[in-house]
Amino acid sequence: MAIGHDRLEAMSALDALLYRGDEHPRMLSVVGGLYLLDGPPPRRSLLRSLERATRAFPRLRQRAVVPPLRLVLPHWVTDPDFELENHVRQVAVAAPGSLREVFDAIRPELAAPLDADRPLWEALILTGLEGQRSALFFKMSHALTDGIGALQLFAALFDDGARPAKTRLPPVPRASDAALKPVELQQQVLARLPQAAAAAVLRLLPGLTDAARSAMHDPAGFARSAEDYLASARRVLGLPCPPAPALAGRSLERRCAGLTVPLPGIKRAARALDSTINDVYLAAIAGALHRYQLATGFEPADVPLAVPVNLRRGDETAAGNYLGSLTLAAPASLPDAANRLDAIRRAVAAGRAEQAIRAHSLLAPLVARMPDAVLERLLKQVPRADVQASNVPGTAARPKLAGRSVLAAYPFGPVPGVGAMITMLSVAEECFVAAHFDPAAVTEPEAFASCLRQGFAEMLEAGGQSGEIDAPILDHGRACGR
């Protein structure tokens, strides 16, 4: 659906924070989807598919206008100079063209910020793969959307069953405000500030009135409620266990690994274990972390594990981030898979029930407006999980891109000050698990990839399924060019 820009479209505070993260190498928010195709797509068809996606998901045609004063959030405007070809590149991977060489090619792309003067995405066509295959690597800033919103983006990118050349393209988004300069934007927003503040007060007034009434009628109960919320906020914003010594290092280097797990096996294992797919996924990661600590000579300890929480109600636009976050104590200290799964179930249930589950979103408007120096000091002081894990539901059918079947789809998330980011995406009958990690934290990458495979195999077997999983893919670890 096309949208116009007759009025300014401010970034949400959370989107603005992610955008500002791209200014700091340790907080870079680039995400990427690697799609292995069964053959080289015709360039004309691929460009048409990308054109369709930019029209159906207009954020792909928008660039950020950043006011000089941090108190004014950046705004999205449609780029009048948008040219699709400026966002599409082609690269031949090194011989022999296996997925290891493909991972080598995308690793520096994940570590490189996007051009802030253009819409924040790029598509990289990878050729020279063995078996006459090809790949598309689509990278974008996390400021554009979250995982659920990205599903709508890729629904527009992939073929819907019709021949790509025959599908009608959506209309081109308008660009009436695109020539707006940063200083002009700042002046316009500041001029509207009194009205915006008054509107905000009116929105908050019913809640403030209810809170005042509650405090007057039941002061003790109101105090207890406030204490309970603050305690919940401390749990949501803090770490539930100490960082793991085995994952203590941090650097700007990155490595990539991938794993393919059968989705029917995970589904059947989840049913047999009276759990969700997500519970089994997180328990597999906890099992991998248990094994990895043993393999590297450490006594297994619980590991702080951050998990995003979808806060969409269903009426939001596809663009933008609507996320909360839980940080769990991944039970990597436990040697038994059943006990780890039970601990995960209880931790996830308790986390989702937290009163302050939206605390990150409530704090974002303040943090997003902080001066650079203050924000940098804050980022250094905020405790970070050792691992982040995200599970994104994909498509039930195997999609096509520009007429070529998608054989694999690896979702690579950012590594914002953590040791590793692990993401799972389901496509047809397979789950593709991508690990993007810091080799200063994960000092034994081969062991880590092997332990990840064993963690999933263990959970499949615990649910009565075959634990046979293909060997993981790991890049060669050459310097990523930072």
- As annotated, the active-site residues are 142
Contact 407, 400 (CB under 8 A): no
Burial class (CB in 10 A: 0-12, 13-18, 19+), 397: exposed
Contact 120, 144 (CB under 8 A): yes
- By DSSP bridging, strand 88-92 and strand 121-127 are parallel
Q: How many other CB atoms sit within 10 Å of the CB of residue 271? A: 14
Contact 435, 256 (CB under 8 A): yes
* Three-state DSSP class for residue 114: coil
Contact 337, 462 (CB under 8 A): yes
Q: How far apart are CA 174 and CA 179, in angstroms?
A: 12
Q: How far apart are CA 77 and CA 56, in angstroms?
A: 16
Q: What string of DSSP letters covers 302-365?
A: -EEEEEEEE---S-S-SSB--EEEEEEEE-TT---HHHHHHHHHHHHHHHHT-TTTTHHHHHHH
End-to-end CA distance of the chain: 38
Please identify which residue in the block is written with the tokens 């195999």: 457
- By DSSP bridging, strand 255-262 and strand 473-474 are antiparallel
Question: How is residue 382 annotated by DSSP?
Answer: S
